[in-house]
Amino acid sequence: MRKLNTISRGWLAALAASALVALVGWLAVTSSILAAANQGWVDPASATVVPGGDVTVSIMGQPPAGTKLGGWNVTVTYDNAVLDATSCGGGAYSSCNADLSPTSVGIAGFNATGLEGAQTLGSITFHALGAAGASSALTVAITEFNDETGTAITPAATAVNGNVAVQAATATPTPVVTPAVIQRTGGAPGDDGSGLTPWLLVGLGIAVIGGGVWATTRMRRDTN
């Protein structure tokens, strides 16, 4: 009986530790989800273009969970010694300034019923003026993020900047057959593959808890 009590206490300690691991994993998952909301960002965050080539980036926006995005006004500033904004397009509910500024592009829009989740607010096409090795930050300024009633969303949305690097063209390498790897794409900056680790912690904690309960039940049955 003493041996059984000792084993039981050991499993209880393991169960408590596993529950803590699962809790930490869940909090990390929740934090990652919340971090992805209420932002404006450039997609892709880091783009490349060859000298004299063109590249198009999307300007994304996402309101906080439970809030709809009804109106927005976003300005993207760039280095005109490296890039030239040759065209811009609004999303389904956006428009952009027709006369492109030498250093910035503005995108504004409105939706009367509001939009939930990540949205493409617009897109900008840049022509590379700089030589290989040059780069330009794409600085995002959110001057307006309103809900469907026209009320400013609080707290203020976070602006996440992007970058375009001019790189020399490289020769196409010989294709190498490798196993397919499924990767997560298309999320906000805070919603990347690093979210896998918290889920593994949650799964590990649950597995150990289940094993402990089974082992304790089995030992009690054998003792009886």
Domain ranges of the chain: 2-35+194-223, 39-166
pLDDT at 84: 96
Q: Where are the alpha helices (DSSP H) in the chain?
A: 2-35, 196-223
pLDDT at 69: 97
Q: The tokens 């196409």 sit on which residue?
A: 172
The CATH number of the structural domain formed by 39-166 is: 2.60.40.680
pTM above 0.75, yes or no: no
On whether the CB atoms of residues 69 and 63 are closer than 8 A, the answer is yes
Using CA atoms, how far apart are residues 106 and 98, in angstroms rounded to an integer?
9
Using CA atoms, how far apart are residues 54 and 174, in angstroms rounded to an integer?
25
11 band by pLDDT with thresholds 50, 70 and 90 = very low
Contacts 24+ apart (CB under 8 A), 97-102: none
Tell whether the model's pLDDT for residue 210 goes beyond 70.
no
